[in-house]
Amino acid sequence: MTRTNFSSGAPWESIVGYSRAVQIGNQLEVTGTVAIGEDGKVVGKGNPYEQTRFIINKAEKILVSAGFTLSDVIRTRIFVTDIAFWKEVGKAHGESFSAIRPATTMVQVVALIEPEYLVEIEFTAIRENS
C-alpha cells in the first residue's frame, strides 16, 4: 500500500518529525489539531466551544484535500485541559458529528503544548470504496 504524508507547512513538523496527516490505503489519520489560525494566533481564546468548532473545520480541510469527508470519520480523540468543558466541546462536536456518530473519547490532560489551547482533537477516517 502507498503511504502519503500531508504537511501543513508548520515549521515544527520537521523539528518534531510528524505529518499533519498520514494516509495508507483507504485510511487517513489526522494528527492532534488545536485552534491555531494561519496567522499563528489562537482562535477562540478562552472558549472551548469556539476552539472545538475551529478544530473540526480545520481538520475537515485536510480530510477534503485527501479525498475524504467528515462522513468518513470513524473515530475522534478529544483532549481537554479541563473536563468541565465537556458540554461545550460536546455541543460543538455534536453539531458536526451527530448524524455520523464516530467512536470518540474525551479525556482531561494536565496541559497542551500552549496554555491558551483548551482542546486538541485527533481524527481517524476510513473510506469504504478505495
SS (H, E, C) the chain: CCEEEECCCCCHHHHHCCCCEEEECCEEEEEEECCECCCCCECCCCCHHHHHHHHHHHHHHHHHHCCCCHHHEEEEEEEECCHHHHHHHHHHHHHHHCCCCCEEEEEECCCCCCCCCCEEEEEEEECCCC
Q: What is the pLDDT of residues 9-29, one digit of tens each?
A: 777 788 999 999 999 999 999
Each residue's pLDDT expressed in tens, for the chain with a length of 130 residues: 899 999 887 777 889 999 999 999 999 999 999 999 988 899 999 999 999 999 999 999 999 999 999 999 999 999 999 999 999 999 999 999 999 999 999 999 999 999 999 999 999 999 987 5
Question: What's the pLDDT score for residue 64?
Answer: 97
Domains and CATH numbers, the chain: 32-121 (3.30.1330.40)
